[in-house]
Amino acid sequence: MKFLEIDGSFGEGGGQIVRTAIALSCILNQPLKIENIRKNRKNPGLKPQHLTALKILKKICNSKQNNLKTGDMKLEYIPNNVQSLNLSENVGTAGSISLIIQVLIPVVAICKKKLILRIIGGTNVPWSPTIDYTQIILKEAYARMGIFFSIKIIKRGYYPKGGGIIELEVFPSKKLKSITLGKRKIKTAEIIGTHSKLPFDLINGQVKDFKRKLIKNGFSLKTLVKEEPSISSGASVLVSSIDDSSIIGLDSLFNNKTQSFDIDLEKFIQNKFSVDEHLADMLVLPASLASGITIFQISKISKHLETNLFVASKITGCKYGIGKLKDGYEVRIEGISHASIK
């Protein structure tokens, strides 16, 4: 059996390489060998959320893999046919649910299957998109590309205890499509704040500050602040702006030390392009498989985006290009066409 070898320390060298590579492995039925996983990180190797994603994928596509544990830096993965399933899983830590389902959603949808998943873990945790970002920003972008899913948040799960619960439903994709996004056309935004075991006035006061700053910069907006149950105390905020030419989100967790959200609102205000830097990463996988050319504009090319483009092109054979604009960049990804996926 011929394995395609991927160096997990390439580029930004994080878990995104594993997530993208394994998802494409399942979709294209391509055996993979990944080495040096998260080699240069403080705690190298696989983390609990990676193991949970692999565990679920093993059930979904009857895959074979070497015996794995937290901290392992080498992965051999042999996929098989993807099937529809109804599952219940528990990460066992505050490991990110968003990062886990980021792997599962495209695999199941693009392979024209269905998944119902109830999963326990972290919904709003550091170094990960919040579940709100996934439910609003990623869902909108994926829907435009022909990938549909729904999320029901049962319980929030903040770091360090996790314990969050969501129900995910992924639907078979009828057709995977490329998309073209340009610049943000209108200044409309929405702010969603959620909190648990923290004073409403504290969180609402900061959301009001964000609202005032956005209005001052010409935005019209809606705001919502709500308390939701969780084992650990915590809060998060998502600022989003969506029109037919752009999908932009900025999320943040509440910092208990500073008693504030670590959010660069100016970054959101000044972003006049198609997408935020995190969504740019997430568009690469479906774009590499779609028919036609996906086009989007962004203020800067992150290491994460460079790495994801490289990994996707190595596995799928897709072509991509990055063009310099006056004050940003345009990314073009020519997919290999959904029709070629077996």
* Catalytic residue IDs: 304
* Pairing between β-strand 164-170 and β-strand 149-155 as defined by DSSP bridges: antiparallel
* Pairing between β-strand 293-298 and β-strand 260-261 as defined by DSSP bridges: unpaired
Q: How far is CA 98 from CA 101, 104, 161, 176, 268, in A?
A: 5, 10, 16, 22, 21
Measured at the CA of 96, the angle between CA 93 and CA 99, to 5 degrees, comes to 145
d(CA 309, CA 303): 10
Place of tokens 């208990």: 256
Tokens standing for residue 55: 């565990």
Angle between helices 48-61 and 97-110 (to 10 degrees): 20
Q: Is the peptide bond before 199 cis (omega within 30 degrees of 0)?
A: no
d(CA 309, CA 176): 18
Where are any strands of DSSP class E within 42-148?
A: 64-65, 75-78, 85-90, 115-121
Q: Are 111 and 82 spatial neighbours (Cβ–Cβ below 8 Å)?
A: yes
Buried b (16+ CB within 10 A) or exposed e, 272-308: bbbbbbbbbbbbbbbbbbbebbbbbbbbebbebbebb
d(CA 175, CA 219): 35
